[in-house]
């Protein structure tokens, strides 16, 4: 007995759910389809699951069908309903003859008050979907009414109201008139901005504020200010809100709440690519060292190919985001071709951003030692430089549908100014992405470089200032930085050995076609070509292959296989990398 009672209690929740009831009413609608049918079905709602709900459903069905039709302008429809109680479940058949829709005769949208001369509000009125001669759609009317009221609020017309807002329908004549009259009242201005000035200097904050006292109120500027403040990294949270209840004399006081970011943060990173193999990194950041907005970042990375340590100290100049001065220190070991390089560098750089363009001026002191079999050198370089770059994109940051990137850099060195050699080094990089329809995507890229140096100093050019190619970022099908000018030297045993030491010129290009399988997966086929060479010794290297990409929030995970087709006895090489194309 106890067991039966327990089973009954266990089944009770299931019996109380909709799934426990058999279907008690089926509904069939004929005579309409598409948007009109979907709207009628939405008005009717879900099919009933209890006898009482069925009774209510049937009682209101005709009225709801008519309301669903009228919402889209069909006021003169014939609706026939037939209910079969003998079937199981009961069957309700609804036959609709929608007739001709009511059409708009006049559309009268007017803005009075200060908003009459507001270009944004007038643009909205001129772009309305409500046009004379079109079928009446109450949803379109409601959207226009809400958009007008919302935009007016966003632009500071807090006293605005509709003096008239209605749709007048003449059912017999089949016409309708829309009347929307909005009295905006005055436009409010930004009032005094109040915030805790002990957190950050006023002159450091000022360039980030698009909200200025006395300027016309605009919600967009509040959002822009919050975004810019957040991007500095100084703050964990930024809240900027208008104090509407304190508005007076046409001005709205602004309350800015700044919640400082954690003084220190640490990030641990783990990665792998076929170029640099496995790597582990630790990054220590201090986003705001003082009221002046100074910050630091220290990054230690271990990789069997290029372990490194970097320190950057940043000082904001005229703008915390768009104009910064950086002091840098770097220690790095790397493999360039057949050379093992040890670099120590100190530098200073000023970066200025103007829209999509970024330019920088730099000075770096580089000490580099490199060695290979029978080759052991060390040089010092003092390199003033200038770079400029421009990037445009559409779509997600790491997976754009369209993008174009260009980057140029010029550096020089002179023996009378602290360098062991005279040198002029120019580099350029281009990237282009273009989507075609929903399934096709092209990715193009090119790298150019030239190191102008005298013949007598050619062997004094450090590996990091030479040019190399090969690997997942340049010529796929070839191993990492394996392409470059070769020299023949004698090893300790007196035998001739060919070493890849890099070239004083670089020219590579890449063409890739991607087929988008779905939002997460795409297939790719590509051809890479070029060389890292000394002037006049260009030799074309071509790699071709296929790949599969899995798109993530940090960029695509790319698994590719490529063949060095211009190489004797070519063999396939696997490339693996994570990140955006550029």
H/E segment holding residue 202: helix 202-205
Spell out the per-residue pLDDT of the chain, length 582, in tens. 444 444 444 444 443 444 445 689 999 999 999 999 999 999 999 989 999 999 999 999 999 999 999 999 999 999 999 999 998 899 999 999 999 999 999 999 999 999 999 999 999 999 999 999 999 999 999 999 999 999 999 999 999 999 999 999 999 999 999 999 999 999 999 999 988 878 888 888 889 999 989 999 999 999 999 999 999 999 999 999 999 999 989 999 999 999 988 889 999 888 776 666 778 999 999 999 888 899 999 999 998 878 999 999 999 999 999 999 999 999 999 888 888 899 999 999 999 999 899 999 999 999 999 987 667 889 999 999 999 999 999 988 888 999 999 999 999 999 999 999 999 999 999 999 999 989 999 999 999 999 999 999 998 899 999 999 998 888 999 988 899 998 877 766 667 778 888 999 999 999 999 999 998 999 999 999 999 999 989 999 999 999 999 999 888 899 999 999 998 888 899 998 887 777
Q: How far apart are the C-alpha atoms of 212 and 216, rounded to whole Å?
A: 9
Distances (CA, A) of 501 to 410, 412, 475, 506: 22, 21, 17, 13
pLDDT tens digits for 30-82? 999 999 999 999 999 998 999 999 999 999 999 999 999 999 999 999 999 99
Q: What is the CATH number of domain 20-97?
A: 3.10.20.310
| Alpha-helical runs (H) found in 327-475 | none
| CA separation for the pair 178, 382 (Å, rounded) | 74
H/E run at residue 557: strand 555-564
Determine how many CB atoms are found less than 10 A away from the CB of residue 554.
Answer: 10
Rounded CA-CA distance 339/377 in Å is 11
| Per-residue pLDDT at 8 | 42
The pLDDT value recorded for residue 303 is 85
Q: Interior CA angle at 168 toward 166 and 170, to 5°?
A: 170
The reported pTM is 0.77
CATH classification of 103-183, choosing from 3.10.20.310, 2.60.40.10, 3.30.1370.60, 3.40.50.300?
3.10.20.310
Residue 68: the pLDDT is: 94
Pick the CATH number of 357-579 from 3.10.129.10, 3.30.360.10, 2.40.30.10, 2.40.160.50: 2.40.160.50
Is 189-260 the same fold as 103-183? Answer: yes
- Residue 274: what pLDDT? 67
Give pLDDT, residue 376.
83
Domain extents for the chain? 20-97, 103-183, 189-260, 357-579
For the segment 368-386, what is each residue's pLDDT rounded down to a tens digit?
999 876 678 899 999 999 9
pLDDT of residue 492: 67
Cα separation, 445 vs 243, whole angstroms: 51
Q: What is the 3-state secondary structure (H, E, C) of 19-53?
A: HHCCCCEEEEEECCCHHHHHHHHHHHCCCCCCHHH
Rounded to whole angstroms, the Cα distance separating 573 from 247 reads 68
Quick one: tokens of 329? 């220190």
Distances (CA, A) of 136 to 27, 141, 147, 395: 27, 8, 18, 35
Asked if 252 and 166 count as a contact pair (C-beta separation under 8 A), the reply is no
Which CATH superfamily groups domain 189-260? Answer: membrane protein fhac (3.10.20.310)
């Amino acid at each position: 007995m106890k067991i039966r009672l327990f089973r009954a209690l266990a089944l009770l929740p299931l019996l109380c759910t909709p799934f426990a009831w058999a279907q008690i009413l089926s509904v069939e609608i004929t005579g309409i389809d598409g948007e009109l049918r979907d709207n009628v079905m939405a008005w009717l709602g879900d099919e009933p699951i209890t006898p009482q709900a069925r009774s209510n459903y049937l009682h209101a069905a005709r009225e709801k069908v008519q309301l669903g039709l009228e919402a889209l302008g069909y006021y003169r429809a014939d609706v026939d309903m037939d209910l079969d109680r003998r079937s199981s479940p009961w069957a309700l058949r609804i036959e609709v003859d929608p007739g001709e829709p009511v059409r708009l005769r006049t559309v009268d949208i007017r803005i009075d008050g200060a908003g009459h001369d507001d270009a944004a509000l007038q643009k909205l009125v001129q772009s309305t979907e409500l046009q004379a001669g079109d079928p009446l759609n109450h949803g379109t009317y409601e959207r226009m009414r809400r958009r007008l009221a919302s935009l007016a609020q966003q632009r500071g017309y807090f006293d605005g109201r509709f003096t008239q807002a209605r749709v007048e329908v003449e059912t017999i004549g089949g016409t309708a008139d829309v009347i929307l009259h909005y009295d905006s009242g005055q436009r409010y201005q930004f009032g005094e901005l109040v915030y805790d000035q002990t957190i950050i200097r006023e002159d450091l904050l000022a360039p980030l504020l698009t909200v200025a006292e006395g300027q016309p109120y605009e919600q967009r500027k509040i959002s822009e200010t919050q975004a810019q403040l957040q991007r500095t990294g100084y703050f964990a949270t930024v809240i900027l809100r208008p104090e509407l209840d304190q508005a007076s004399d046409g001005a709205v006081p602004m309350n800015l709440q700044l919640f400082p970011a954690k003084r220190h943060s640490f990030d641990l990173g783990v990665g792998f690519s076929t170029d640099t193999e496995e790597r582990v990194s630790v990054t220590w950041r201090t986003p705001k060292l003082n009221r002046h907005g100074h910050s630091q970042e220290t990054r230690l990375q271990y990789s069997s190919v290029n372990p490194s340590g970097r320190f950057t100290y940043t000082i904001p100049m005229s703008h915390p985001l768009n104009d910064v001065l950086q002091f840098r220190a770097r220690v790095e070991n790397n493999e360039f071709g057949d050379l093992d390089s040890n670099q120590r560098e100190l530098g200073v750089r000023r970066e200025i951003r103007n829209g999509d363009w970024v330019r920088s001026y730099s000075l770096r002191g580089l000490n580099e030692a490199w060695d290979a079999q029978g080759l052991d050198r060390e040089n010092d370089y003092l390199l003033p430089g200038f770079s400029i770059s421009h990037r445009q994109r559409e779509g997600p940051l790491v997976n754009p549908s369209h993008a174009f990137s260009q980057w140029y850099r010029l550096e020089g060195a002179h023996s009378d100014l602290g360098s062991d050699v005279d040198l002029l080094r120019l580099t350029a990089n281009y990237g282009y992405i273009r989507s075609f329809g929903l399934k096709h995507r092209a990715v193009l890229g090119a790298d150019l470089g030239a190191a102008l140096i005298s013949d007598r100093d050619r062997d004094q050019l450090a590996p990091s200032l030479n040019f190399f190619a090969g690997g997942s970022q340049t010529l796929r099908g070839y191993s990492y930085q394996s392409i470059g000018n070769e020299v023949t030297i004698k090893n300790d045993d007196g035998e001739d050995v060919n070493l890849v030491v890099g070239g004083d010129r670089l020219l590579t290009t890449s063409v890739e076609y991607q087929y988008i399988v779905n939002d997460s997966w795409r297939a790719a086929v590509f051809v890479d070509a070029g060389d890292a060479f000394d002037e006049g010794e260009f030799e074309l290297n071509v790699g071709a292959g296929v790949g599969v990409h899995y798109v993530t929030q940090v960029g695509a995970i790319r698994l590719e296989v490529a063949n060095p087709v211009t190489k004797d006895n070519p063999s396939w090489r696997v490339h693996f990398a994570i990140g955006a194309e550029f």
